[in-house]
Structure 1
Amino acid sequence: MDESNKHGNPVRAAFQKLLQNKLATVCFVVLILEILLVALAPFIAPYGYEEQDPAHALAPGFWAQWTAVTDPEDPEYNARDQYVPGHILGTDQYGRDTLSRLLYGGRISLMVGFVSTAMGLVAGVICGLLAGYYKRLDNPIMRVMDLLFTFPGILLAMLIIAMLGVNTFNAMLAISIWSIPSFARMVRGKVLQVKEEDYIMATRSLGAQDSRIIFVHILKNCLPVIIVIATMRMATSIISISTLSYLGMGVTPPMPEWGGMIAIGKQYLWDRPSLIFIPGIAVMITVICFNILGDKLRDILDPSLRD
Structure 2
Amino acid sequence: MHASFLPPFSKKFVNKNQGQQVGVMMARILQISDLHIRPRGELCYGQIDTNAMFADAIKQINGLAFDIDAIIASGDLTDCGLEEEYELLREMLSGLTKAPVYLLPGNHDRRENLRAAFPDHDYFDDELPYLNFDLSIQGLRVIGLDSVVPGAEFGRLDDGRLEWLADRLGQNPRTPTMIFMHHPPIDGGVDGGDNRLNLSANELERVLQEHPQVMRVCAGHWHQSVQAQFGHGLAVVSPSTCHQVAFDISRSLGELMFAMEPPGMLLHIQNEEGRMFTHQMVLGKYPGPYPYPDVADYPGA
The two structures have a TM-score, normalised by structure 1, of 0.24
TM-score for both structures, normalised by structure 2: 0.24
Query: Which structure shows the bigger proportion of residues in helix conformation?
Result: 1
Q: Report which of the two has the higher share of strand.
A: 2
